[in-house]
């Protein structure tokens, strides 16, 4: 037997919900800046923004595509928690190695440039 997942086709109703969620989220951001330009209290401005974003998330949750996206976002957060970050000592050592490599490469390229300049301009072309 095959263990392949079946992808459902989104309906026009789902597409409408996703577009409406985007419009509501944009409206929340626009409302935030509009209220801020009218010198309204910061709590009212933030409330407009949060209300727009919360309503947009609820609309997204009501559509299949939105649920898939939100589940993907949850899984992405879960995966980032599994990352093993380097210690401060390891990060400092790696940064030092990178800087040393960049310095060596800069000196190598400068030396190569100087040798080629000498060969081309002084020996071959005799311009100097």
pLDDT at 115 over 90: yes
**Distance from C-alpha of 91 to C-alpha of 94, rounded to nearest angstrom:** 5
Q: Does residue 85 sit in helix, strand or coil?
A: coil
pLDDT number for residue 66? 76
How many angstroms separate the CA atoms of 81 and 85, rounded?
10
Domain boundaries, the chain: 12-81, 85-128
In the structure, what pLDDT confidence band is assigned to residue 10 with cuts at 50, 70 and 90?
Answer: low
Average pLDDT over residues 52-59: 91
Q: Where is 55: in which H helix or E strand? A: helix 42-61
- Residue 69: pLDDT above 60? yes
């Amino acid at each position: 037997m095959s263990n392949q997942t079946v992808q459902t086709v989104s309906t026009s109703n789902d597409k409408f919900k996703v577009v409406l969620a985007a419009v509501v989220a944009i409206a929340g951001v626009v409302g935030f800046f509009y209220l801020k330009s009218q010198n309204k209290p910061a709590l009212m401005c933030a409330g407009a923004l949060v209300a727009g974003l919360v309503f947009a998330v609820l609309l997204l949750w009501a559509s299949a595509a939105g649920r898939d996206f939100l589940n993907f976002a949850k899984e992405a957060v879960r995966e980032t928690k599994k990352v093993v970050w380097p210690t401060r000592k390891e990060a400092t050592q790696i940064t030092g190695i990178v800087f040393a490599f960049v310095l060596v490469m800069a000196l190598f390229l400068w030396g190569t440039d100087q040798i080629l300049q000498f060969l081309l301009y002084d020996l071959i072309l005799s311009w100097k």
